[in-house]
Amino acid sequence: MSSEHGFCDLGFAKIDTDRPRRKGFSEVIYCPGKDRSHLKKISGIFLKNKQDLLLTRLEKPVFIYLKKFYPKLKYNPIAKIGFLSQRPKDKKGLVVVISAGTSDLPVAEEAAITLEVMGNNVTRLYDVGVAGIHRLAHHLDLIKKAKVIIIIAGMEGALASIVSGLVKIPIIAVPTSCGYGASFGGLAALLTMLNSCSPGITVVNIDNGFGAGYFANLINK
Protein backbone atom coordinates (compact mmCIF):
# COMPACT_ATOMS: atom_id res chain seq x y z
CA MET A 1 0.00 0.00 0.00
CA SER A 2 3.00 2.34 0.36
CA SER A 3 3.33 5.16 -2.20
CA GLU A 4 6.93 6.11 -1.36
CA HIS A 5 8.05 5.09 -4.87
CA GLY A 6 5.43 7.25 -6.60
CA PHE A 7 2.76 4.58 -6.88
CA CYS A 8 0.54 2.53 -4.60
CA ASP A 9 0.35 -1.21 -5.32
CA LEU A 10 -3.11 -2.67 -4.69
CA GLY A 11 -2.28 -5.95 -6.40
CA PHE A 12 -4.95 -5.54 -9.08
CA ALA A 13 -3.82 -1.96 -9.81
CA LYS A 14 -0.80 0.27 -9.31
CA ILE A 15 -2.04 3.78 -8.58
CA ASP A 16 0.21 6.54 -9.96
CA THR A 17 0.24 8.87 -6.95
CA ASP A 18 3.10 10.91 -8.46
CA ARG A 19 1.11 12.04 -11.49
CA PRO A 20 0.02 15.47 -10.15
CA ARG A 21 3.68 16.44 -9.80
CA ARG A 22 4.59 15.22 -13.30
CA LYS A 23 1.45 16.14 -15.23
CA GLY A 24 -0.36 18.72 -13.12
CA PHE A 25 -3.40 16.54 -12.45
CA SER A 26 -4.19 13.22 -10.80
CA GLU A 27 -4.41 9.93 -12.66
CA VAL A 28 -7.87 9.63 -14.22
CA ILE A 29 -9.88 6.42 -13.75
CA TYR A 30 -11.40 4.82 -16.87
CA CYS A 31 -14.25 2.79 -15.39
CA PRO A 32 -15.48 0.24 -18.00
CA GLY A 33 -14.24 -3.28 -17.24
CA LYS A 34 -13.39 -2.49 -13.62
CA ASP A 35 -15.15 -4.18 -10.71
CA ARG A 36 -17.04 -1.72 -8.49
CA SER A 37 -15.16 -2.88 -5.40
CA HIS A 38 -11.90 -2.17 -7.22
CA LEU A 39 -13.15 1.30 -8.16
CA LYS A 40 -13.98 1.91 -4.49
CA LYS A 41 -10.45 0.99 -3.39
CA ILE A 42 -8.79 2.98 -6.18
CA SER A 43 -10.91 6.05 -5.39
CA GLY A 44 -10.02 5.74 -1.72
CA ILE A 45 -6.30 5.95 -2.48
CA PHE A 46 -6.74 9.20 -4.40
CA LEU A 47 -8.81 10.75 -1.64
CA LYS A 48 -6.42 9.57 1.06
CA ASN A 49 -3.61 11.31 -0.84
CA LYS A 50 -5.73 14.49 -1.11
CA GLN A 51 -5.87 14.26 -4.90
CA ASP A 52 -8.71 15.16 -7.24
CA LEU A 53 -10.91 12.29 -8.39
CA LEU A 54 -12.15 11.96 -11.97
CA LEU A 55 -13.91 8.78 -13.11
CA THR A 56 -14.78 8.58 -16.82
CA ARG A 57 -17.49 6.41 -18.44
CA LEU A 58 -18.95 5.75 -15.00
CA GLU A 59 -22.38 4.10 -15.08
CA LYS A 60 -24.98 5.58 -12.71
CA PRO A 61 -25.55 2.39 -10.62
CA VAL A 62 -21.81 2.26 -9.92
CA PHE A 63 -21.81 5.96 -9.02
CA ILE A 64 -24.65 5.34 -6.54
CA TYR A 65 -22.59 2.51 -5.02
CA LEU A 66 -19.47 4.70 -4.70
CA LYS A 67 -21.37 7.65 -3.26
CA LYS A 68 -22.30 5.53 -0.23
CA PHE A 69 -18.60 5.52 0.68
CA TYR A 70 -17.65 8.95 -0.69
CA PRO A 71 -20.65 11.26 -0.10
CA LYS A 72 -19.01 14.31 -1.72
CA LEU A 73 -18.64 12.52 -5.07
CA LYS A 74 -20.61 14.28 -7.84
CA TYR A 75 -21.95 12.92 -11.12
CA ASN A 76 -22.81 14.23 -14.58
CA PRO A 77 -25.27 11.71 -16.10
CA ILE A 78 -24.89 13.01 -19.67
CA ALA A 79 -21.09 12.71 -19.68
CA LYS A 80 -21.14 9.68 -17.33
CA ILE A 81 -18.38 11.27 -15.26
CA GLY A 82 -17.91 11.11 -11.51
CA PHE A 83 -15.74 13.81 -9.94
CA LEU A 84 -14.57 15.17 -6.62
CA SER A 85 -12.23 18.17 -6.41
CA GLN A 86 -10.01 18.41 -3.34
CA ARG A 87 -7.50 21.02 -4.48
CA PRO A 88 -8.43 24.70 -4.91
CA LYS A 89 -7.62 26.02 -8.39
CA ASP A 90 -7.29 29.43 -9.98
CA LYS A 91 -9.56 29.65 -13.01
CA LYS A 92 -7.58 29.49 -16.25
CA GLY A 93 -8.44 31.23 -19.52
CA LEU A 94 -11.59 30.60 -21.53
CA VAL A 95 -12.17 27.32 -23.37
CA VAL A 96 -15.22 27.22 -25.64
CA VAL A 97 -16.69 23.74 -26.16
CA ILE A 98 -18.73 23.63 -29.36
CA SER A 99 -20.96 20.78 -30.49
CA ALA A 100 -22.47 20.39 -33.94
CA GLY A 101 -25.67 18.75 -32.64
CA THR A 102 -27.43 17.65 -29.48
CA SER A 103 -26.56 14.01 -30.22
CA ASP A 104 -22.94 15.00 -29.57
CA LEU A 105 -23.68 16.21 -26.01
CA PRO A 106 -22.33 13.16 -24.12
CA VAL A 107 -18.90 13.70 -25.68
CA ALA A 108 -19.12 17.48 -25.35
CA GLU A 109 -20.05 17.25 -21.67
CA GLU A 110 -17.21 14.78 -21.07
CA ALA A 111 -14.81 17.43 -22.40
CA ALA A 112 -16.47 20.28 -20.51
CA ILE A 113 -16.58 18.52 -17.13
CA THR A 114 -12.96 17.39 -17.52
CA LEU A 115 -11.96 21.00 -18.14
CA GLU A 116 -13.97 22.34 -15.20
CA VAL A 117 -12.57 19.79 -12.75
CA MET A 118 -9.07 20.78 -13.90
CA GLY A 119 -9.80 24.45 -13.16
CA ASN A 120 -10.63 25.93 -16.56
CA ASN A 121 -13.17 28.62 -17.40
CA VAL A 122 -15.58 26.84 -19.77
CA THR A 123 -18.36 28.12 -22.03
CA ARG A 124 -20.63 25.65 -23.81
CA LEU A 125 -21.99 26.38 -27.28
CA TYR A 126 -24.16 23.48 -28.40
CA ASP A 127 -26.15 22.63 -31.55
CA VAL A 128 -24.52 25.06 -33.95
CA GLY A 129 -23.65 22.65 -36.76
CA VAL A 130 -23.24 23.27 -40.48
CA ALA A 131 -26.88 22.51 -41.31
CA GLY A 132 -27.68 25.96 -39.86
CA ILE A 133 -24.38 27.82 -39.86
CA HIS A 134 -26.03 31.15 -38.96
CA ARG A 135 -26.35 29.76 -35.42
CA LEU A 136 -22.55 29.64 -35.19
CA ALA A 137 -22.06 33.07 -36.77
CA HIS A 138 -24.27 34.61 -34.09
CA HIS A 139 -21.69 33.63 -31.44
CA LEU A 140 -18.50 34.45 -33.35
CA ASP A 141 -17.47 37.30 -31.03
CA LEU A 142 -17.61 34.94 -28.04
CA ILE A 143 -15.68 32.22 -29.88
CA LYS A 144 -12.86 34.64 -30.72
CA LYS A 145 -12.33 35.37 -27.00
CA ALA A 146 -11.33 31.76 -26.28
CA LYS A 147 -7.79 30.63 -25.61
CA VAL A 148 -8.63 27.13 -26.89
CA ILE A 149 -11.64 25.76 -28.77
CA ILE A 150 -12.95 22.20 -28.73
CA ILE A 151 -15.16 21.17 -31.65
CA ILE A 152 -17.31 18.04 -31.29
CA ALA A 153 -19.05 16.79 -34.43
CA GLY A 154 -20.30 13.59 -35.99
CA MET A 155 -21.87 12.98 -39.42
CA GLU A 156 -19.39 14.49 -41.93
CA GLY A 157 -17.44 16.40 -39.24
CA ALA A 158 -17.07 19.63 -41.23
CA LEU A 159 -17.58 22.04 -38.34
CA ALA A 160 -13.94 22.02 -37.19
CA SER A 161 -12.69 23.20 -40.59
CA ILE A 162 -15.25 25.99 -40.74
CA VAL A 163 -14.44 27.36 -37.28
CA SER A 164 -10.70 27.04 -37.88
CA GLY A 165 -11.02 29.16 -41.02
CA LEU A 166 -12.53 31.98 -38.95
CA VAL A 167 -10.20 32.20 -35.93
CA LYS A 168 -6.50 32.18 -35.00
CA ILE A 169 -7.12 30.05 -31.89
CA PRO A 170 -5.89 26.44 -31.55
CA ILE A 171 -8.69 23.93 -32.13
CA ILE A 172 -9.06 20.41 -30.82
CA ALA A 173 -11.47 18.42 -32.97
CA VAL A 174 -13.38 15.41 -31.64
CA PRO A 175 -15.17 13.17 -34.14
CA THR A 176 -18.20 11.41 -32.70
CA SER A 177 -19.87 8.14 -33.63
CA CYS A 178 -23.13 10.02 -34.31
CA GLY A 179 -24.45 9.47 -37.84
CA TYR A 180 -26.09 7.10 -40.28
CA GLY A 181 -24.52 4.02 -41.87
CA ALA A 182 -21.96 5.65 -44.14
CA SER A 183 -20.51 7.61 -41.21
CA PHE A 184 -18.95 4.26 -40.18
CA GLY A 185 -19.25 4.89 -36.46
CA GLY A 186 -17.39 8.19 -36.60
CA LEU A 187 -14.71 7.22 -39.12
CA ALA A 188 -16.08 9.62 -41.74
CA ALA A 189 -15.89 12.56 -39.31
CA LEU A 190 -12.42 11.47 -38.17
CA LEU A 191 -11.08 11.44 -41.74
CA THR A 192 -12.66 14.82 -42.52
CA MET A 193 -11.01 16.37 -39.48
CA LEU A 194 -7.64 14.76 -40.20
CA ASN A 195 -7.79 15.98 -43.80
CA SER A 196 -8.82 19.54 -43.02
CA CYS A 197 -7.10 22.14 -45.21
CA SER A 198 -7.45 24.73 -42.45
CA PRO A 199 -4.31 24.86 -40.26
CA GLY A 200 -4.40 24.94 -36.49
CA ILE A 201 -6.46 21.80 -35.84
CA THR A 202 -5.41 18.77 -33.85
CA VAL A 203 -7.65 15.69 -33.74
CA VAL A 204 -8.29 13.18 -30.95
CA ASN A 205 -9.90 9.77 -31.18
CA ILE A 206 -13.58 9.11 -31.89
CA ASP A 207 -15.81 10.05 -28.91
CA ASN A 208 -12.76 11.00 -26.81
CA GLY A 209 -14.13 14.05 -25.04
CA PHE A 210 -11.87 13.40 -22.06
CA GLY A 211 -8.74 13.43 -24.23
CA ALA A 212 -9.77 16.72 -25.81
CA GLY A 213 -10.48 18.29 -22.43
CA TYR A 214 -7.17 17.12 -21.02
CA PHE A 215 -5.19 18.45 -23.98
CA ALA A 216 -7.05 21.79 -23.93
CA ASN A 217 -6.16 22.08 -20.24
CA LEU A 218 -2.47 21.65 -21.06
CA ILE A 219 -2.65 24.41 -23.68
CA ASN A 220 -4.62 26.66 -21.34
CA LYS A 221 -2.32 26.32 -18.29
Neighbours of 89 (CB within 10 A): 13
pLDDT in tens, 163-175: 999 999 999 999 9
Q: Are 39 and 69 spatial neighbours (Cβ–Cβ below 8 Å)? A: no
Domain positions in the chain: 8-84, 92-220
pLDDT on residue 20: 85
pLDDT band at residue 4 under the 50/70/90 scheme: low
**What is the structure's pLDDT at 183?**
87
Residue partners of 90: CB distance under 8 A and separation at least 6: 119
Choosing among 3.40.50.20, 3.40.50.1970, 2.60.120.10, 3.40.47.10, the CATH entry for 92-220 is 3.40.50.1970
Per-residue confidence at 88, pLDDT binned at 50, 70, 90? low
Tell me how far apart the alpha carbons of residues 97 and 109 are, in angstroms, rounded to a whole number. Answer: 9
φ, ψ for residue 166 (rounded to 5)?
-110, -15
pLDDT value at position 79? 94
C-alpha–C-alpha distance, residues 175 and 111, integer Å? 12
Write out pLDDT tens, residues 197-210: 898 899 999 999 99
**pLDDT reading at 1 higher than 60:** no
Give the integer Cα–Cα distance in Å for 100 and 14: 38
What mean pLDDT, rounded, does the chain reach? Answer: 91
Neighbours of 25 (CB within 10 A): 21
Strand ranges for 34-125 from DSSP E: 53-56, 74-76, 81-84, 92-99, 120-125
pLDDT, average across residues 176-182: 88
pTM of the model: 0.89
> What pLDDT is recorded for position 182?
86
pLDDT tens digits for 41-85?
999 998 888 889 999 999 999 999 999 999 999 999 999 999 998
